[in-house]
Structure 1
Amino acid sequence: MSEKKNPAPGDGLRSLRTTSLFRAVNFELYAKPNIAIMAVGLVALAGCAGYIAYMRSKYEGLGYYGALKDDGSEHFEKKKSKWD
């Protein structure tokens, strides 16, 4: 027979009795944090944000600016001079 372990403070959800389906659906609640995977995700997220910022600055450097359409969406238009 297995002994019943009394939950101690700080055990969190691991100490509660749950079904296998709940544990499978909510895996992130029971898994221990993995620093290596977290670092890879952070680098990927920062890379995506940096690429978007780079592309936006590239278009602005070419003379484009973000203009809003009537429906609220944004598109890039070439800056026009009143003298042209």
Structure 2
Amino acid sequence: MEPKPGDGIKSLKTSNVFRVVNFELYTAPNKAIMGLGLIAIVGCAGYIAYMRKKYQDMGYYPAVNSEGKEVFLERKSKWD
């Protein structure tokens, strides 16, 4: 089998273990699965942004406590 231009890594002689571990190098891109993955990632990022905005609108702000974790504290006036 003579390698043709554009074959890339498929033209190299490799072991079956390499092909199993690097499965994505030997399969054709699936646009439907890529689309679903993109929708899932955008959905997760949108939900995180929505929840963060929701807490800010309720009067909370993100702060880091003494243990290094992020917590939401309620805004307080200097007059309280």
Task: Name the TM tier (shorter chain).
Answer: over 0.9
Partner of 1:42: 38
Which amino acid in structure 2 is aligned with residue 36 of structure 1?
Answer: A
Structure 2 residue 46 is the aligned partner of structure 1 residue 59: no
CA drift at 1:71? 4.3
Consecutive unaligned residues of structure 2, counting only runs of 5 or more, are: none
TM-score (norm 1): 0.88
In 2, Cα distance between equivalents of 1:6 and 1:70: 64
In 2, Cα distance between equivalents of 1:73 and 1:28: 37
TM-score (norm 2): 0.92
Partner of 1:6: 2
In 2, Cα distance between equivalents of 1:15 and 1:37: 26
Consecutive unaligned residues of structure 1, counting only runs of 5 or more, are: none
Task: List 4+ stretches of structure 1 deviating above 4 A.
Answer: none
Which amino acid in structure 1 is aligned with residue 64 of structure 2?
Answer: L
Compute the RMSD of aligned alpha carbons: 1.0
- Residues 6-59 of structure 1: CA deviation (Å, up to 9, x unaligned): 112210111111111110111011111000000000000000000000000000
| Larger Rg belongs to | 1
